[in-house]
Structure 1
Amino acid sequence: MPKPKKIINDPANAVEEFIRGLLLQYPNRLAKLANHHVVLKADIASSSQVHLLSGGGSGHEPSHAGWIGNGMLSGAICGGIFASPSVAAVLAAIRAAKNDKGVLLVVKNYTGDRLNFGMACEKANAEGIHCQMVVAADDCALERTKGITGARGVAGTVLIHKIAGAAAAQGKSLQEVANWANAVSARMGTVGVAMDSVTVPGADAINDRLDENTIEIGLGIHGEAGLRQSPLLTAKEIAQELITTIQKYGRTSGADGEIVPMFQPKDELCILVNNLGGTSNFEMSILAQSCVELLEGAEFGAQVTRVLVGSYMTSFDMHGASLTILNLSGAPDGMVALLDAATDAPAWGVCDTWNRTAARASATEIPEVVVAANEVSAGSLPTLTVPNFEAVAKQMIQAAAQKLIDEEPTLTKYDTIVGDGDCGITMKRGATELLKRLESGDLKTEHPVSMFAAIADAVSASMGGTSGVLLELMFRKMGSSLAREETVGVDQLQAILGTGTDAIILYGGANVGSRTMLDALVPASNTLVSSKSLADSAAKAKEGADNTASLKAASAGRSNYLSEETLEGTPDPGAIAVALVLEEIAKLV
Structure 2
Amino acid sequence: MKKLVNDPRRVVREMLEGLADLNPGLALLDAEDVVVRAALPVPEHRPVAVLSGGGAGHEPAHAGYVGPGMLAGAIAGDVFTSPSVDAVLAGIRAAAGPRGALLVVKNYTGDRLNFGLAAALATAEGIPTKLVVVADDAALHETVAPERRRGIAGTVLVHKVAGAAAEAGLDLDAVLAEAEAASSAVVTMGVALGACTVPAAGVPGFALGEDEMELGLGIHGEQGVRRAPMAPADAIVATILDTLVADAGLREGDQVALLVNGLGGTPPMELSVVARAALAGLRDRGIAVPRGWAGNFMTALEMPGCSISLMRLDAARLARLDAPASAPAWPGGGMLAPRATVATPADPAPGHPEPGPLAPALRRVALAVAAALEAEEAALTALDSHAGDGDLGLSMARGAAAIRALPEGAFATPASALSAMAQALRRAIAGSSGPFYATALLRAAQVLGDRDADHAGWAEAFRQSVAAIGELGGARPGDRTMLDALHPAAEAFAATPASPAAAWDAALAAAQAGTAATATMRPRLGRAAYLGDRALGQPDAGAGAVLVWMQAIQRSLG
Q: Assess same fold via TM > 0.5.
A: yes
CA distance in 1, matches of 2:412, 2:445: 21
1:71 is aligned to: 69
Give the 3-state SS of the residue equivalent to 2:104 in structure 1. strand
Cα distance, 1:174–1:144 mapped onto 2, change above 3 Å: farther
CA distance in 2, matches of 1:472, 1:242: 45
> 1:218 is aligned with what amino acid?
G
Cα distance, 1:512–1:210 mapped onto 2, change above 3 Å: closer
- 1:370 deviation in Å? 1.2
TM-score (norm 1): 0.65
1:78-117 correspondence runs (5 A): 78-117=76-115
1:345 aligns with 2:327: yes
Give the 3-state SS of the residue equivalent to 1:44 in structure 2. coil
Cα distance, 1:503–1:92 mapped onto 2, change above 3 Å: farther
Gaps of 5+ in 1: 251-260, 376-400, 402-419, 421-435, 445-453, 481-498, 522-547, 568-572, 578-589
1:396-407 correspondence runs (5 A): none
**CA contact 2:425–2:437 (8 Å) conserved in 1:** no
CA RMSD, Structure 1 to Structure 2 (Å): 4.9
1:246 aligns with 2:228: no
2:268 is aligned to: 281
**CA contact 1:69–1:344 (8 Å) conserved in 2:** yes
Structure 1 stretch displaced more, 301-310 or 156-165: 301-310
1:335 aligns with 2:311: no
Equivalent of 1:185, from 162, 183, 186?
183
**CA contact 2:190–2:217 (8 Å) conserved in 1:** yes
**CA contact 2:265–2:303 (8 Å) conserved in 1:** yes
CA distance in 2, matches of 1:31, 1:207: 33
1:402-421 correspondence runs (5 A): none
**CA contact 2:98–2:126 (8 Å) conserved in 1:** no
CA-to-aligned-CA distance 1:555-582 (integer Å, 9 cap, x gap): 468999778xx99xxxxx99xx9xxxxx
1:369 aligns with 2:365: no
1:199-348 correspondence runs (5 A): 199-250=197-248, 261=249, 263-297=250-284, 300-328=285-313, 331=314, 333-348=315-330
CA distance in 2, matches of 1:314, 1:290: 21
1:14 is aligned to: 11
Cα distance, 1:286–1:130 mapped onto 2, change above 3 Å: same
Give the 3-state SS of the residue equivalent to 2:10 in structure 1. helix
CA distance in 2, matches of 1:438, 1:79: 68
Cα distance, 1:168–1:471 mapped onto 2, change above 3 Å: same
Structure 1 stretch displaced more, 224-233 or 33-42: 224-233
Cα distance, 1:469–1:264 mapped onto 2, change above 3 Å: closer
Identity of aligned residues (%): 39
CA-to-aligned-CA distance 1:125-158 (integer Å, 9 cap, x gap): 1111132221111112224883696111111110
> 2:277 is aligned with what amino acid?
S
- 1:66 deviation in Å? 0.9
Give the 3-state SS of the residue equivalent to 2:294 in structure 1. strand
- 1:514 deviation in Å? 4.0
2:33 is aligned to: 37
Cα distance, 1:519–1:120 mapped onto 2, change above 3 Å: closer
Larger radius of gyration: 1
Cα distance, 1:177–1:507 mapped onto 2, change above 3 Å: farther
CA distance in 1, matches of 2:228, 2:109: 28
CA distance in 2, matches of 1:458, 1:190: 50
> 2:254 is aligned with what amino acid?
D
- 1:460 deviation in Å? 5.3
- 1:92 deviation in Å? 0.8
**CA contact 2:476–2:483 (8 Å) conserved in 1:** no
CA distance in 2, matches of 1:342, 1:366: 32
CA distance in 2, matches of 1:474, 1:209: 50
Cα distance, 1:86–1:458 mapped onto 2, change above 3 Å: closer
CA distance in 1, matches of 2:469, 2:330: 44
CA distance in 1, matches of 2:241, 2:150: 17
Cα distance, 1:87–1:439 mapped onto 2, change above 3 Å: closer
Cα distance, 1:161–1:373 mapped onto 2, change above 3 Å: same
1:126 is aligned to: 124
CA-to-aligned-CA distance 1:264-298 (integer Å, 9 cap, x gap): 1121111212111222323222222222222222x
1:511-550 correspondence runs (5 A): 511=476, 514=479
TM-score (norm 2): 0.68
CA-to-aligned-CA distance 1:407-464 (integer Å, 9 cap, x gap): xxxxxxxxxxxxx9xxxxxxxxxxxxxxx999957959xxxxxxxxx96556556999
Structure 1 stretch displaced more, 128-137 or 139-148: 139-148
**CA contact 1:110–1:149 (8 Å) conserved in 2:** no
- 1:204 deviation in Å? 4.1
CA distance in 1, matches of 2:36, 2:445: 62
CA-to-aligned-CA distance 1:69-109 (integer Å, 9 cap, x gap): 12111111001111111111111111111324322111111
1:542 is aligned to: none
Cα distance, 1:367–1:207 mapped onto 2, change above 3 Å: same
Cα distance, 1:371–1:239 mapped onto 2, change above 3 Å: closer
Give the 3-state SS of the residue equivalent to 1:5 in structure 2. coil
Cα distance, 1:151–1:467 mapped onto 2, change above 3 Å: closer
1:487 is aligned to: none
Give the 3-state SS of the residue equivalent to 2:15 in structure 1. helix
CA distance in 2, matches of 1:210, 1:233: 14
- 1:36 deviation in Å? 0.2
CA distance in 1, matches of 2:217, 2:48: 34
Give the 3-state SS of the residue equivalent to 1:207 in structure 2. coil
Cα distance, 1:501–1:159 mapped onto 2, change above 3 Å: same
